[in-house]
Structure 1
Amino acid sequence: MSTTTPAKVTVITHPLVQHKLTLMRKKESSTNSFRRLLGELSTLMAYEITRDMPLQDLEIETPMEKMTGKVIDGKKQVLVSILRAGNGFLDGMLNVIPGARIGHIGLYRDPETLQPVEYYFKMPSEMQERDIIVVDPMLATGNSAVAAVERLKQLQPRSIKFVCLLAAPEGVATMQKMHPDVPIFTAAIDRELNDHGYIMPGLGDAGDRIFGTK
């Protein structure tokens, strides 16, 4: 997965993605509304993220005759959620690739250093044969994303992609510096981080808004 130049950053600008993102940003959006919109938006994003997914031939029989069609092998895909907010992405993406396996990485951000601390790690078997899509709503400082990808690379998967709802320029720069071979997919790159490491203008704490723990 090595390359001499940073992998592409894709901002998914589809009108439906941008519309739903704007509704999610509104501070008056309820937990139920925020959760529903994230599910819809992650489904839409999944179409773009999986655009280059490899296909294989399958012999089938239509009502008219036999033919060879194209299918994906969803079991080769692993959706890896960075807990806890990454779980908000899973249902929507499973609508597109229902055969995907699921992995979880538990990381929390130390409030003083802003550095990630791992507390949970559980992945499917035979990761060397699989393509990983890492999901986390926010790419802020980039420290958690970098730590998660570093941990996953130890399993030597075929490929890794990183998907987030919002990114800060600082987080993108950190990821591209530390993991230049990992493409990033996001719905928006916002202006900056504030002094507490939150994305501005952002949408607040994604985990709190998904789970109603504000």
Structure 2
Amino acid sequence: MKLNLNGIWDFHPDDGDRGYPVMVPTWWDSLPETTGYPDSWSRDLHHGVYLREFFLDTLDPNEDIILHLDALATLGRVSINAIQVGPSSTGGYLMTLLPYDLDVTRAVHAGRNRMRIEIWGVKSLPADALAPAEGPGRLLFPFGTENLVGRLGLGGDVWLGSRPRVRIEDMQIIPDLGGDADPSNDRLELNATLINTSEHPCNLRFKAEVRPWRPERSRHPDGP
């Protein structure tokens, strides 16, 4: 299952009562000539809330529901049906311009769902996104030069997808050429992250096979 959530969202500047239709993905502080957004947003708006409803058919109990956010800035927090989702290590905050795949299985249900994405600019960060014990204004997340040009809002793709509850979540292949040109001592190290979010343990056998690379035979343009 994959549900594209790009398109028109209901946007509330400063979490106010009045909503405006905005296109996702776009930055709300983009040039008004290209977006049609109010000119004041590009100068003075540092906090906003995106709202969107979506519908899900009957959910498969053998699958997790994943929310993908390609890029937001400067700092965001997501809730679905009033249930906060996001990494516990950052208090649920999503950091600037990083892609996220969030497990939202516990927050969604079959039928109509409501998503809320709140975003703050660096000039309006909430108090619990700061670390005063480490110095005045110290942030809990990396802050780089990409924010100097102004990027605020949902500037990347947003979609929902499903994944099996028992799955390979991540894989890393590390080559080691042995420090010389002799291929006989070359090695490949494979690190794989296996996920089981089901209610039952399972016995898995993970097998990796390395085969010599063989180039494909060149084909004549007029035949095989």
Which bin holds the TM-score, normalised by the shorter protein?
under 0.3
**More helix, by proportion:** 1
Q: Normalising by the residue count of structure 1, what TM-score does the alignment of the two structures yield?
A: 0.25
**More strand, by proportion:** 2
Q: Normalising by the residue count of structure 2, what TM-score does the alignment of the two structures yield?
A: 0.25
